[in-house]
Every structure is written in C-alpha cells, then in structure tokens.
Structure 1
Amino acid sequence: MQRDERAVRRDGAAETGDTWSDLADTPYRVDRDRIVVSPFFARLGGVTQVVSAAGSGLLHNRLTHSLKVAQVARAVADRLVDSPVSAELIAKFGGLDPDVAEAAALAHDLGHPPFGHLGEQVLDRIARHRFGLADGFEGNAQSFRIITTTDVRGPSAIGLDLTAAVRAAVLKYPWARLHRPDPHPSTMPNPPRGAAEPKDAPGTGSAKFSAYLTELDDVAQARAPFVGRIEPWQQTIEASVMDTADDIAYAIHDLQDFHRIGVLQHAPVAAELGQWLSRALELAEMDSAKLAADERKPGHSLELLRRRMHARDAWIVDDDAFAAAVARVRADLVDGLLAQSFDGSIEAEQATAVFSARWTSRLVEGMVVLESPTTRSGHVTLRPAQWHEVAVLKFVHRHFVLLRPELALHQRGQASLLTTLVDALDAWLGDRDETSRLPRRLHDLVELAHAEFTELAATAPELLVGATGEQVGGADAIRGLARGRAVIDFVSSLTDAQAVALLDALSGRSSQPWSDSFVL
C-alpha cells in the first residue's frame, strides 16, 4: 500500500500506533480529537474574542468562536469535495479532507493570548524590545508552536504529534517573520496578505506569520507533501478553507454579539451606509486629504475603505460589486437586524438566528476553487459578490465596535496588566534565591527554549539575530533568548482570569494561596 505522506505524523510515523489511547480510526479524526482534549483548547473558553465575555452569556469567547469556525470550515469543505467542478483542482493542489479543515479550524486560535488582539500586540512588543526576540510574538505562530512543541499530550510529549496535512492547514501564513522561505514573500512586488512589513516598523519582517524560527523544521516536514503542488508562500487548500471560514465567522457572529448587548446601534450604521449610497459619486471625487480629515462624517470612512480596497486588492475589487454589497448589508443588517433593539424576546432571538443562518449559508455557497489565484488570495476564496460583502461587514464591526473609545480605555488597562505580569515573572526568573520555587511549567519552558536556541546556534547561527538585526551568539545571549521565549510562552497560555489572578498573587493583592495546577 502506498504511504500517504499527508498522514505522516511529526514523529515520522504514518499510523496512530496501538500504544496510544486514540479513539478514532482515521488519522485526521485522531488529530481533531487530540486538539479538542488539549488544555490549550479548553483555556480558550476564558480568552477574550473582542471584549471580555466574563459574566455574560451573550458574547463569543475564543472557544465558541473556534467551534463556529470549525462548523463553517467543515460545511465549506463538504460542499467543495462534493462538487465535480472543484474535484480536479483540489487533487492538483494537494487535496481537501473535511476532517483536516475542521481540525485546523479548531486549532487556529490555540495560541491566542489573554485579552484578544490587544494581548498579541503587547506581547509582541515586549518580546522584541525587552527580550530581543526577532520573532517577537504572533498568535498564529504560537498556535503552531503549541501543536508541534509545547503541548505535551502527544505520544512523545512533544506537541500533539499531528499529521502533516493538519499541521500544514494551520499555517495560515506559511512563512516565518524573517528569513524563510527564501526568497521571503515580503520581498514580492505584491506580497500575500500579512507578508508585507508594517509601514511604521521597516526591517522587522512580516506583519503576520505562522511559525517561529524554532519550528522551521516542523514547517518543512508539514509542507513536504505539497512541494511542487503549491508555491512555498501559498496556503494549502485546507488552510484556505480554514482562513476563509475564520473571516466568515468573524464577519457575522461578532456583529451579532454586539447587537445583542446593545453596542451596535441602528442610527450611526444607517447614517454611514446610507450617506455613502446616496453620495457615492460625490465622495468618489473628493480629495483624499479632505476625505481623511472629515473621516467622522457619515459615508467618509466607507469611501476610504473603497479606496483602500482598490489599492490592495485590484485583482477583485469592483465598484458596482462594492455598491451592491453596501446596499445588501444596509437592507439586511441595518433595516433588518438593527431596526429593533435586542430585548431578549423570542422574536429578537429568532431575528439574530435568522440573520446568522442566512448570511452563513450565502457566504458558504459563495466559495470557489481558483486554479491561478493572485498572491493576495488562496486557492479557495469567495466569489466577488460575497468577497465585497464580507469586507463591508468587517468594516461595520471595526468602525462601530473596535474603534469605540470605551473599548480603548478598557484595553489600555489590560496592556498595563500584561506588561506588569511579564516584568514580575522575569524578575522571579532572575532571583537566584527563588529559582527552586518557580512554577514547574515555567521552569520546563525555560529548559525547552534553551535547548531549542542552543541547537539553532549550533546548526543555523545565521538565523539567530536580535530584534534590531544584529547577530546573536554566546551562552549568555542564548540564555536570555530562552528566558524571554519561556516567559512569553507562559503568559500567552493563560486565560484572562488567570492573568489577572496571577498578577494579584505576585503583587501581594491576593490573600488566597494559588491553586491553579495548569499555571503552576
């Protein structure tokens, strides 16, 4: 029987093995089960999606978000697999198994730190500027590190020992921040989404990436079955399904959340979309500087979005499709869902359920497989009409939820908390009188990271550069990098509540002894 390279596990085996307690009898179902029983998956129930869900059953957390992404990913995969039009292209580019797409969706946010994307930004800044880690921190890369390295529930206690297909499907951005692959996608004339360097931080590498330097061997092994089928910087078919499912869930369910708690209001959303529809030609002729200066006026921000889409995604953007998308969102979201405030009644619950189901169905049905996609798209993407609709839905979420001042106020406090927590743990690591009483998991993470960086120094020293690009070497420097990565690994694996409680304990504000075994 021919060996299925997609089913090869991290340890090199092609079977699950008789000595391990897997319940499923197919390799990709085994992967799904291993992810679901991981403590890193369970902790997502206590991690912020956009704002903290503590005390509210109305808001998604990272766990419920991941479950819905998995639901959408499986629906998309099932639909594409059953389509005779797509079958040949899917086989050409490496295959599509619904179990793989579902498993990748369940795993895609495992590395998400406390307090949502705010936590990601804070830990990245600390990792680069305080600890000199050129990789910094990135939630997608942390997810890949968990499934290949820091989770210990696999047979070898190194990662989850997942198949190549699932590990490759988790690689939403299949490159490192710097160096790999070579040439790096950030140097392309029109880089893939996320591959370009931030404009305000030149020389720091890609804004988004899915692997740290310590996991490059795992990337190569996971991608080996796809060599010659897709470009080194391209997502696998299953990764494209997961990525687009994530966009769909984010665009629909977060809007639903903030309608339910009364944050997303009818009047401002109606004004923004309505003004743009009635003044589209006038706004299109307006000077960009004046448009930006008056961004708070209704319709102006939506016009700025249209222009950014032309600049970034000329391959698909179309003004007629954009106008149709704005009109559809206005009719269905503004004149439909938001027209009546959410009051917890049966009618209100039904309205949100119908809105979610209708939009999910429309977007799932809009998925297609492309033979020669642009660098800005995977092989699986949305048709133009649905692509524009997702862009408008995400705009509404960002403009009317994420940019609210009260959210910024809340997040500034969370940023301060995370920074102080990292400082406290780093100080503990530096206290020679207390090293024997470190939390065991933090101690183990330091040893793991030290072994990784020592091996890199011996085998690929050119990869070891500091946050400012200087070569790193010597025992002290290696210990410093390991200490930094271990602290970041440790803090990023906490829930929101664990981060708060741990800082309270470290600062003497808690009168109760600590008893959380996952932390200690």
Structure 2
Amino acid sequence: MSETGHGAAGASRVARRYVEHETSQHRSAGIHDADGPVEEAPAAQEFRIDLERIRFSSYFARLSDVTQVVPQSGVGPVMHNRLTHSLKVSAVARVIAAQLAGQQATHAAFVRGEAPVDDPVGAIVTRLGGCDTVVAQSAAHAHDLGHPPFGHLGERVLDRVARDHLGLAEGFEGNAQSFRILTQLDTLGRDFPGLNLTAATRAATLKYPWTRVAWIGLSTDERPVTERPRGVGADADEGAEKFSAYALEAGEMEAALAAFPRIAPGVQTVECAVMDLADDIAYAVHDLDDFARAGVLQQSAVSGELRAWLTGTDALAAIELSVLQASWRAPGHSLELLWRRTQLKDGWIADREAFTAAVARVSEEVAESLLAAPYDGGIDSERAVSGFTRRWIEHLRTSIVVEERPHVRSGHVRLDQRAWHEVMVLKFVHAHFVLERPELGQTQRGQARIVTELALGFEAWLTDGVDAGRAPRRLLEWVDEATAASFVLRRDRPELLIGDTSDAGLRRQGRARAILDYVAALSDQQAIQTHRALTGR
C-alpha cells in the first residue's frame, strides 16, 4: 500500500515538520522491475526516507553497545543488545502491519466495487488513519533510541538523579528521550533540528502520548488505576511514570497526533500499537532464547516456580497478600503475586482460567522442553531454541485483535485473551529468573554508580566558574539550546513547566536537561571510559 489516509488527513500523515531545502535523491528513486523503473507513490517514498534516516542515525548505531536485559560481558556474543532487539521488533512489526495493510487493501477494493466482500478490520484501520508497514518498521527502529547506558537501569538512575540532585522535576524517561532525539537532538546537518520525519512516523513512536505533567495530582479517587492508561501509575503526585514527550517537545507531539483526528486523546495510533505489540513479543520470545543459550535460566528453578503454582493454586489463593509479599521467594508465591496484580490492574481482560492455561503452556514449552537439556552450542541445541522461537512468534502474530474503541489500558491492536496471558507469564520468567538474580546485583550497583557520577560530574564541571568553558563542545551547545527553549516555553506555554520556573530555575533546568542528553547519548563502553576520565579512576 502507498497512501494510507484519505483527503486532508492522508496528506497530513506524510507532512514533514520542516520544508526540505533540497531535492532528495530518494524522491526520484523508484522500484525497478524487468520492464524498467516503477515509481513509488509519494507517501511510500516519504516513509522510506524516514526509515533510512533512522537507520543511518548515529543514535541507532550506538544501540549495538547498549544493554538489552543483562550485560553482554561474560556470556559471549549470544546476548541481544538494543540494536539487535530493535531489528527484531522491526521484523515482527512488519509482519503484523503487513497483515493489517492487506486487510485495509481488501476494504479499499470493496469500496471501489472491486471485491465482493468487505473486511471489517480493514475498515476499522482505514477509519483510524491507516497502517503502513514501513511506518511501523520505522517506529520499531526508533523506539529504543533514548535508552541510556546500561538500559533500564540507567534510565531509572538518570530519572532519580535528575529529580533529586539536578533540580529537574520532569526527570528522565527513555520514551520521551527517543522522541527528543528524533525531533531535536539528532541532525541531518541542515538548518533545522531532528530528523524531520513525517507526522505518521513521529506519531508511531508515541507509546505513551502525554507529558509527565499531564497527570500530576490526579488521585485514585478521581481516576482509579483500572481507568488509567498503562504507564501512568497509581500515584500521580509527581506525574506519569511513563510518557513520550518532555515539555520541550510537547508541541511536536501535538503536531504529530493532529494528523490522526479519529484517534482519541491518550491513545496510540494503529502503527504505534503495532510497534508496541511487536516490542512485547520480541521481548517475551527473542530475549528468552538469549537466556537459554547463555545458561542464565535454570530448568529446576523455572519448573519449580511454575509447577508449585499450578499444583497449589487453591492454597496460594487463600494466603494473605502481606504474607505473600514477605515470602515471595517461596515457590509459587511470586507467580501468585503476579496474578493478583494482573487481576487488580487489568480486570478488563484478566481471567483465572486463561492465566492458569498460560502458566501450564509456558511450563510445558519452556521449563519442560526448552530448558530440559542444557544448551551446548550443538546443532540439536540450536534447533531446539530456534524452533521454540519460530513457534511462539507464529502463534502470537496470529493472535491479533483490532478494536476501534479499545479499553483505556489497551490499544487499537492487541493480543487476544489467551495470548495476552501467555506473554504476561513469559515476561514474568524474564523478571523473576533473570532481572532479579542476585548475581547481577553487584554489577548493576557498579553501573548505577557510573551513571550517577557522570551526571553529577558534568554538573560540577558546568558550574565551575573557572573551568566550565572547557566542557565538551556538544554539551555546552545543548545547554544553550535547552535553556533558551525553556524560556520560550515559559513565555508561550507556562502550564507545561514544573519545578522552579524563575530565571535561575530555568537556567538550572536547561543545564540539567543537556547533561541528561549528553550522558544518555553514550554507549555502555563510552560511559565506562568517560567515567574513568572524568573521575581520574
């Protein structure tokens, strides 16, 4: 498919934020067949330009040295990094988007009188603004650009340091950082900021389409957890936990979403929902084969937890919550806690029977099959792992549901009830048996110290009245740009700012945002080397 929208809405999908100042070679480059060049439709060309700009970005390249789930050191080259993860998310997103685009094409043919039967899913996708496979791929390529060194650990540390020590109440968020890179920090060497992507691609990266400040002060009495989008969190005193744009980029977010008038406020576009779902699938399945190859997952521990819950489900259901929380290491207890959290937050889809069936399936296919024999690097071991991955990807991609009016905690494109519970249990295996492993604690504390001392070290350097001018050139430029933008925001949209908004406060906020931009742009190894140089260790 080429053009996925209709009329003005379709045109706004492909509109770029800034006017191009020269003719791109891509505009005249068509697809060739045996009879010569076949020109692509304008929309298809524009979307392919987006994808190429992201692929050639230095921020995309650095993901090859950014932790995905666990550090690569000590386990060889088998572990995913953020780059390989992004490529697999893109592959899964392409398959799902192609399926929806095909259904949309069937609906279009029916409308033109060229098909005898309409496709209701295609009709829904069309009304919501369309689904283009390249846009979904671009969003998948871009979705982790904002991850700082050491992945989610670095993200949590930078957020804490920003709010507790640097005077930046808005903090740091990986999704918002990705959008900031696309629209502000990255450059094509031209006279405008960012990569100048189409509205469709920019909107497709907005997994949490709001700012942190948008949810400040909303109590659970006013809006219960079950009626809040995923990522907002129960306690919104300090704003949303997850968000896709800082205040500085709020206008960019609004401009991108304006191209989708049929998408309700706070809801992902169709292509964004495809990317988000593909991210979940890749995380749940592809990362699991990492752990199997590296020997991180132990069959006895995984099987013990899952089987303990299956055989003691009634007894576990009768245990008081406080007792479960205190004894979470006991077999079956953590899985019971997962079920209770799921039931509390996602009662719209959570079902005890479906959860039990999911635990049983994961127990059989992961604990009793995938992990039954240790991975030894041989052909049989590799076939077992790759076969597991293929089966699950095929199963999940064929378990797609499209809804025109989704639940507030869901999206227009989601998994059906069975597959939704299965992914929940697969992600539990990651969290409980990998992320929470005591063996990682020492390494992660060291990584947290590196990120903390980098941020605080650059703050000390920039506030040194004698030596500040010798700080890295890019950092100094970003300080000037972020500070100037903060003053403009106070003038034009003061309601978006939080914290100290005096002149001195805004200068401190601008400096803090630039420090976060600089540290977050480092790879794992760059962070380690920069920390050594900055601290003299």
| TM-score, scaled to structure 1 | 0.92
Q: Does 1:218 pair with 2:240?
A: no
Structure 1 contact 181–232 (Cα < 8 Å) conserved: no
Q: 1:93 aligns with which of 101, 108, 128?
A: 128
Cα offset for 1:230? 1.7
Deviation at 1:276, TM superposition (A): 1.3
1:75-127 deviation per Cα after TM superposition (whole angstroms, max 9, x unaligned): 11111222334100101111111111110000000000001111001100111
Deviation at 1:370, TM superposition (A): 1.0
Aligned to 1:60: 80
- Secondary structure at 2:401's aligned position in 1? strand
CA distance in 1 between partners of 2:203 and 2:222 (Å) = 22
Residue 505 of structure 2: aligned partner: 477
- Shift in alpha-carbon separation, 1:161–1:112, aligned structure 2, 3 A: same
1:498 to 516, 523, 526: 526
Give the conservation status (yes or no) of the 8 Å contact 2:216–2:239.
no
Match of 1:140 in 2: 175
**Residue in 2 that maps onto 1:196:** 233
Q: Deviations over 1:187-215 (max 9, x none)?
A: 64410000135x4xx51100100000000
In the other structure, the counterpart of 2:195 is 160
1:5 aligns with 2:39: no
User: Identity rate of aligned residues, in percent?
Assistant: 49
Cα shift readout 1:480-516 (whole Å, capped 9, x = no counterpart): 111111001000010010011011112234xxxxxxx
Query: Shift of residue 260 of structure 1?
Result: 1.1
Residue pairs, 1:45-444, within 5 angstroms: 45-54=64-73, 56-83=76-103, 84-153=119-188, 155-179=190-214, 188-189=223-224, 190-197=227-234, 199=235, 203-227=237-261, 229-444=262-477
In structure 1, distance between residues paired with 2:223 and 2:189: 38
Q: Distance in 1 between the 2:433 and 2:414 partners?
A: 26
Distance 1:463 1:174 in 2: 15
Distance 1:182 1:263, change over 3 A: closer
Alignment coverage as a number of residue pairs: 497
8 Å Cα contact 1:127-1:136 kept in structure 2: yes
| 1:442–1:490 Cα contact (<8 Å) kept | yes
Is contact 1:173–1:210 with CA below 8 Å preserved after alignment?
A: yes
Partner SS for 1:179:
helix
After superposition, the Cα gap between the structure-2 partners of 1:309 and 1:148, relative to the gap in structure 1 and judged at 3 Å, is same
- Give the deviation of 1:185 after TM superposition: 11
Q: Distance in 2 between matches of 1:54 and 1:76?
A: 33
Q: Deviations over 1:428-466 (max 9, x none)?
A: 212233333221111111111012111112212333221
2: distance between equivalents of 1:312 and 1:343?
41
What corresponds to 1:512 in structure 2?
none
CA distance in 2 between partners of 1:429 and 1:185 (Å): 41
- In the TM superposition, what whole-angstrom CA distance separates every residue of 1:244-295 from its partner, at most 9, and x where no partner exists? 1100011112211111111100001111111111122222233323333332
- Counterpart residue identity of residue 16, structure 2: R
Distance in structure 2 (CA, Å) of the matches to 1:396 and 1:46: 25
In the alignment, is the contact (CA less than 8 A) between 1:151 and 1:157 conserved in 2?
A: no
Q: Report Cα offsets for 1:144-167 as digits up to 9, x if no partner.
A: 000000001264340000000110
Q: Distance in 1 between matches of 2:477 and 2:517?
A: 11
1:18: Cα distance to partner? 4.3
Measure, in 2, the Cα distance between the counterparts of 1:289 and 1:188.
25
- Cα distance in 1 for partners of 2:496, 2:426 equals 40
Extract unaligned runs of 5+ from structure 2: 1-5, 31-44, 104-118
Is the CA contact 2:216–2:237 (under 8 Å) kept in the aligned structure 1? no
CA distance in 2, matches of 1:504, 1:301: 39
Inter-partner Cα distance in structure 2 for 1:192 and 1:216:
18
Q: What is the distance in 2 between the residues matched to 1:154 and 1:231?
A: 36
Counterpart contact for 1:178–1:184, Cα < 8 Å: no
Q: Which amino acid aligns with 2:17?
A: R
> Contact (CA 8 Å) 2:216, 2:240: kept in 1 or not?
no
Preserved contact between residue 186 and residue 196 of structure 1 (Cα < 8 Å)? no
SS at match of 2:77: coil
Note if contact 1:446-1:486 (Cα within 8 Å) is conserved in structure 2. yes
**Contact kept? 2:215, 2:232, Cα under 8 Å:** no
Contact 2:399 2:416 in 1 (8 A): yes
Q: Deviations over 1:34-74 (max 9, x none)?
A: 00000000000010111222462110000000000001111
Letter in 1 for 2:533: A
Structure 1 residues 269 and 401, CA gap change in structure 2 (3 angstroms): same
Match of 1:487 in 2: 515
CA contact (8 A) 1:96 1:237 kept: yes
SS at match of 1:339: coil
What's the Cα RMSD here?
2.1
1:34 aligns with 2:53: yes
Cα 1:373/1:9, change in 2 over 3 Å? same
Aligned mates of 2:220, 2:309 — CA distance in 1: 36
Aligned-partner Cα distance in 1 for 2:24–2:522: 28
C-alpha distance in structure 1 between counterparts of 2:219 and 2:321, whole Å: 33
Q: Which runs of 5+ in 1 are unaligned?
A: 510-520
TM-score by length of 2: 0.89
Q: 2:187–2:193: 8 Å Cα contact kept in structure 1? A: yes
The alignment partner of 1:103 has SS state of helix
C-alpha separation between the residues in 1 aligned to 2:452 and 2:180? 22
Post-superposition shift, 1:183? 9.3
Q: Is the 8 A contact 1:104 1:239 kept in 2?
A: yes
Q: 1:181 to 1:131 in 2, by over 3 A?
A: closer
